[in-house]
A and B are shown apart, each in its own frame.
Chain A
Amino acid sequence: MKRTGYLHDNRYLLHDTGPYHPEMADRLIAVYNGIKDAGLLDQVTLIPAVRADIKWIKAVHDPNYIRRFEEICLSGNRTFDYPDNQMCVDTYETAFLAVGGILDVARRIMEGELDNAFCAVRPPGHHAERDQAMGFCYLNNVAIAARYLQMEHGIQRVGIIDSDVHHGNGTQHIFEKDPTVFYYSIHQHPSFAFPGTGREFEEGSGEGRGFTKNSPVLPGQGDDVYERLIQSDLLPAFERFKPEVIIVSTGFDGHRDDDMSDVTLSTEGYSWIMETIMKLGNRYAAGRVISVLEGGYCLERLGELAANHVRILLNG
């Protein structure tokens, strides 16, 4: 069995998005209960959050944006940049704890203390742009983790796989000119879903051309289309790229019971995706797979999906 880290911290519940917001603290409680009820808590290494050093956040985000985020948050504003981005006075600190926890997990993996990990953080990150909050996201957790691995641990090629049902516009834009980070995303077609990017012809630019790949999925499509696209688009791309570490932007919102999307992945479909990612991790990245939670809003399903996810990490 693998040494799997599970990043969980009750301080991630402090980011309060107000009433009727899908990205709510209860999501992480559902994830925790699912993992606990499946009897997996004893098998994972529970990792608490630590606060991120701002220098890593500056490796991705504009310093003026970080300052603006802090000021708007502390001034008591309830929204930031878009009305979607509901926040409270603790949001800035919680976002730093999310990033810090993930970087600490990455360090433990690089130092051989852990094999892989599931980072159940809030707020999510993949919509956050270099200088703009978007789609419930403030700091781009996975982008910062990729830069940290490169700058602190000498990793040259980072592969990011984004399984959230929404395209990770922020992550794509941050790395689109960069041939050292491959961004792959499979998501509901942008003409039918937020944020309206991630079309098939977006493939990176300049030196980064060919290091971004998008697989849009139409409403109503599910397991079989995901399987076909991952096999035709992701597998050959990673065969060529050979990532040294794989970071997964994990979103459980493509599940058929999740009303944030119209795609119809099943629970088993989600397991197949993660098992496939683990095979890629073992083949190219010495098993170093860091999964970071993005979306997933169906509280009734999150527990079982997270438990299956962790079980697959444990099985390696």
Chain B
Amino acid sequence: MFVSRSMVSQVITIDKDASVFEAQEKMAANGIRHLPIVDADNRLIGIVTDRDIRSVMPYRLIKEKGIAEEREKVAHLKVEDIMTRNPKTISPMYTIQDALLMIQKEKVGAFPVVDDEGKLQGILSVRDLLRAFINVLGIGQPGTLVGIEVEEKIGQMKKIVDAITEENISFGSVLVARTWDEGKRAVFPYLLTNNVSKVKKKLSAMGYKLINPMDWYLDKLPKKP
């Protein structure tokens, strides 16, 4: 899964000489929060975000746009003055996993995607990553999530997958939570079927503990680092 498949390729950019008001309007009109700035050769020189704009605007101008004297004070500001120069970028050949980890590390909302020559090829935002993640989870297709607690040893997954496959059920995805109770893992197959009661009984008969659905979620997630 490469970034080039999930990024937005038709990037909306802005000129470095544009005013902050123009940038603000462009974001609002397109429902976006990041505007890359490129030179005449499509080389990336910076990025401006809705936060950059908000931080230079008096509070009242964010709420109500009409006050002339307040506008005057920021009218001279250009995109060039507030943009982040040389922002963190990623390559189209980065994987989605790279991008997920980088977003967590850099605490930004989007990465410009830049090729080896420094030319802007696209932009990848948290929103695009979410879409890719929804695809990976398989939850765009009808199915049922099942939770199974397993011992932390080799070969457990094969047994589960075999048992489910024997029932002629396809998988939408399989998630594994590694931070479960001590010595245990939790396996969450998303099965593309409405008919899970038989396979649940089968897994129980094999000795697996089915996880109470109300124990599935947040309380078992690892604490923030």
- Are A194 and B213 closer than 8 Å at their CB atoms? no
Chain A interface size, as a band, is 20 to 34
Whether A194 lies near B194 (C-beta < 8 A) is yes
Q: Is the CB of B142 within 8 A of A218?
A: no
| B-facing residues in A15-39 (Cβ within 8 Å) | 20-22
Contact (Cβ within 8 A) B214 A82: no
**Chain B residue at smallest Cβ distance from A17:** B195
Q: B residues within 8 A CB of A135?
A: 142, 194
- The smallest beta-carbon distance between B144 and chain A, in angstroms, is 5
Chain A's closest residue to B147 (CB) is A192
Given contacts A83-B170, A219-B212, A220-B214, contact A194 B193 (CB under 8 A): yes
> How far, in Å, is B221 (CB) from chain A's closest CB?
15
Residues of chain A with a CB closer than 8 A to B197's CB = 22, 259-260, 297
Contact between chains at A21 and B195 (CB < 8 Å): yes
The verdict on A134 contacting chain B, using a C-beta distance below 8 Å, is yes
B179 interface residue (CB < 8 Å to A) = no
Contacts A194-B143, A196-B142; A82 near B213 (Cβ below 8 A): no
Known contacts A83-B169, A83-B170, A259-B197, A196 near B214 by CB under 8 Å: no
Query: A167 — nearest CB in chain B belongs to which residue?
Result: B142
Tell me the dominant secondary structure on chain A's binding face: loop
A166 to B195, CA, bound (A): 12
Give the contacts of B128-152 with A (CB-CB under 8 A): 139, 141-145
State in angstroms the CA–CA spacing of A3 and B221 once bound together: 56
Q: Is B168 an interface residue (CB 8 A)?
A: yes
Interface string of B195-225 (1 = CB under 8 A from A): 1111011000000000011101000000000
A196 touches B213 (CB 8 A): no
Contacts of B214 in A (CB 8 A): 218-220
- Interface size bucket, B side? 20 to 34
Q: Does B82 contact A (CB under 8 A)?
A: no
B38 at interface, CB cutoff 8 A: no
Q: Is A136 an interface residue (CB 8 A)?
A: yes
Q: Is the CB of A262 within 8 A of B192?
A: no
Complex partner residue of B193 from A84, A192, A218, CB under 8 angstroms: A84
Verify if A195 is at the interface (C-beta below 8 Å from B): yes
Evaluate contact between A20 and B142: CB separation under 8 angstroms: no
CB interface residues, A 72-116, toward B, < 8 Å? 82-84
The answer to whether B145 and A82 have CB atoms under 8 Å apart is no
**Nearest Cβ on chain A to B166's Cβ, whole angstroms:** 12
A169 on the B face (CB < 8 A):
yes
A–B pairs, 8, beta carbons within 8 Å: A83-B193, A127-B142, A135-B194, A166-B194, A194-B193, A195-B194, A196-B142, A260-B196
Binding site for B on A (CB under 8 A): 20-22, 82-84, 127, 134-136, 166, 169, 191-197, 218-220, 259-260, 262, 297
Given contacts A127-B194, A195-B142, 8 further A-B contacts (CB under 8 A): A83-B169, A83-B193, A84-B195, A135-B194, A192-B213, A194-B196, A195-B194, A197-B142
